[in-house]
Structure 1
Amino acid sequence: MNRLERLVRENIRALKPYSSARDEFSGSEGIFLDANENPFGTLNRYPDPYQKALKEKLSQLKDIPSKNIFIGNGSDEIIDLVFRIFCEPGTDKVITFPPTYGMYEVSAGINNVEVIRVKLTPDFQIDFEAFFQQMEQNKNIKIVFVCSPNNPTGNSIYNIEKLLEYNTIVVVDEAYIDFSERASLIEKLPEYPNLIVSQTFSKAFGLAAARVGVAYANESIVALLNKVKPPYNVSALNQKAALEMLENYSLVQDRIRLILNEKEQLINQLSELDEVIKIYPSDANFLLVEFKNANEIYENLVNHNIIVRNRNSSIKNCIRITVGSAEENSQLINTLKNYKL
């Protein structure tokens, strides 16, 4: 048994996965009388359980073999599956770096797994001394979650490779990587069998409603994810939507450029406002902005039907603002300019 296999829960190693009708026959032509489907309609057939066409397109785009790709019902399903595969409830632990994406902690709670929080430094980077200390003190840490570019701070996290030197699973959440100039850690997969890189179609591809997440990982980890997932976890409609965006990737790139241009204009306009104290560096499609009084600003914007995210509870007087269309951003700025007038 290798180091990676030792991290897997014993019951998952022994699990015999459900075999669906489409596992036993994978062709596309024929008279299908095997899955108790309704013979009428256009959505009457079960979808491809392994999303082969979608993986082939992603393989070409990312220059990574299909065997290293897993498709999930959003990235949140991937997070939950990783807990189920590697963490023994009530025994194992995970590390997160707050302030960060809240679903790591929610999934930990659902799976009865203790969370060790190693707070980011004031400039929102990993405190490696504190991390190393926790790794030495706790022998049951199975997973380390790091979000880069980080949500809600927007910045990229540096030196993630240091986390991979331990015998734990490291999940790098790259939901916003398409907006960043930094390279994806996908290129590090051949070096680190314990690395899982998650991405999504929700942000740059504009398919938040479709719920399509992607994990890039060692072939053994992908096999485990396929073993534990529900048989038909991504609908045919959602697979088709993702494929259409991949086939029109130039449109995705154009929209990314538009969003990034709008972000620069938004930074310039926000920096001129008296109520704004600081705009944090961002490699994502949003900005973390410190105001003199975040709660009052937030309520004022809501009263004008402009909905942002108040992060004051975790980062003092900070609001997270998604970059919208030119018209939406203009309304935001005008409302902020007229604040208290």
Structure 2
Amino acid sequence: MDPSGIFPTSYRTDRRVVRTRWQMAALALFVGLMLAAPYLVSGRIVAILNMMMISAVIAVGLQICTGYAGQINLGQAAFMGVGAYTAAILASKTGLTFLLTIPLAGLSAALFGFLFGLTAARIKGFYLALTTIAAQFIFHFAVLNLPSNWMGGSNGITVPPAELFGLRFVGETAQFYMNFAVTAIMIAGAFGIVRSRFGRAFVAVRDDDVAAGIMGINVAATKANAFLIGAFYAGVGGALWAYMIRFVGVDQFTLFHSIFFVAMIIVGGMGSIVGALVGVFVIRIIQEIIATVGPNIADSVSFLGGDIVFAGMNVILGGVIALFMILEPKGLMHRWNIMKSSYRIWPFPY
């Protein structure tokens, strides 16, 4: 619901993302604060923001695939790993600039995701979830069993720093600006996708694929394209991860990480790009709190053992998912939209 006095007079204005001057001012303020963040906060906060931006790219891709197209995907971390390994191999063995390795990493992950997207034309629901889980095991099997001079095997691959015109992105601040630029481009692209004919086809297939097929939508191609786009975003996020960590190992991309990304879109709200970003913020904050408090708990209660941090993170994450599925299945963005509408129509109850 728009504020009073805002009346779109065309379809283009009705589909506009930023609709009022206040929204434009808020967006400009947010961008300005983000650009100034490395000079306003500590290095630890900058590192957390870097993690959030990389997670945002991956979660937005999953939102397009699952939230908009309705295709269950529990293999997003595997697609992220394909992109990370592609960027690592290209950067370390060919010396290509990150301007080329990042898009190529996304394309390689998109191809891998497209293969699994083809299965979505015949299966759905629980069986599709099992198929995407298989992507995790295929990825791990390939990395560990292919010749070690190809993908490093269990030893992983060391990634050289990103460079552009002799400038090396090695510090947290330099990484921050590179991640921010790529994240902004990918999020803007996501808004364009969901507002285009492809996005409308995704929603139609999600709501009723039989009715969508009767309307003339190629259901099989739409489902495969949803996986392709979601995997492309994961591959780009994987490439950013590789350049930030400077090392890629197969244990960085597990099924637990895929569940983290699913939790992000559940908490933020399915079918909302902004909801994916909100979910990334909430889940990452929870993870940071557990990682900070967990070691202190492990030291004070020694009989729990050193695995309390990992176990506690998974238990709390599972509890958060369960609570949202029971109490707020449509996510935080749905609750925010209700509050916003209630404020705008007050004091009327309708």
Q: TM-score, normalised by structure 1?
A: 0.25
Higher relative contact order (CA 8 A, sep 6+): 2
Considering fraction of residues, name the structure with more helix: 2
Considering fraction of residues, name the structure with more strand: 1
